[in-house]
Amino acid sequence: MANRRLTRAEKQAITRARVLDAAAKLFARRGFDGVSLDEVAAAAGFSKGAVYSNFESKAELLLTLLVERHSRRIMDGLPTLFGGEGPPEERAREGGVRLASIIERDREGVLLFVELWVAAARSPRLRRKFAALYEQWQGLIIDLLRAQGDELENLLPLPVPQVAAAAHALVEGFALQKVIDPKRLPKGFLGDVLAAFFGGLRALARESGARAAAEAHERAARVASRGTGTP
């Protein structure tokens, strides 16, 4: 049977994938500023026109790489953050272990994230797009926290969006340290930190609740004493 001829859309998809593959290797090895689109095109086996037919700029190429190839892996792993059973901090510990495993297997993705961070800091247009991606990441964490219901949300001393931003920062910091020195942090570190973070928040909330209850009781006692004339 004769081979079926590829459609134009199929050919474009293959070209796009090869350009992304070539760019990922070059950006991770030499950095965003150290690579030209001519070099990406040559490594992919195409002319620069083939690159521009799929991506409007080098920055757009880098952003697409991070979104389609790497951040999706993390986003697919985030729902495990509060999977399982037990108190929220223990579920966070188990989820942190699973997230750490994803991060440790994707060093290239962390390097691309750093390259995009630096490029976005210098480009207002790219910064806006990167900020939107951040909103997407943190929105997923917010949804995960709120999905736990009153069990967790009512026990947090901070608004859920702030807790999500802090948890995101912890995961991000872990990824950055791991890419520099993979052996520096002990096994289970991210899980332990997330468990301590959520456990500490719950403890603060309980302490704040107990203090508020004591103050309310004291106020009620003063009101009662004035009503009876007791000094």
pTM for this entry: 0.76
Q: What tokens does 48 get?
A: 């620069």
**25-29, 64-68, 104-108, 213-217: the lowest-pLDDT one:** 213-217
What structural domains and CATH numbers belong to the chain? 7-55 (1.10.10.60), 58-228 (1.10.357.10)
Amino acid letter, residue 64: T
In whole angstroms, what is the distance from residue 169 CA to residue 45 CA? 39
pLDDT band with cut points at 50, 70 and 90 for residue 1: very low
In whole angstroms, what is the distance from residue 103 CA to residue 172 CA? 10
Looking at residue 35, what is its pLDDT? 93
Looking at residue 193, what is its pLDDT? 95
Which residues neighbour 120 within 8 Å (Cβ) at sequence distance 6 or greater?
126, 127, 129, 130
Q: What tokens does 173 get?
A: 């910091």
Phi and psi dihedrals of 149, rounded to 5? 75, -160
- At 36-69, the pLDDT tens digits run 999 999 999 998 888 999 998 898 899 898 888 7
Which residues neighbour 38 within 8 Å (Cβ) at sequence distance 6 or greater?
48
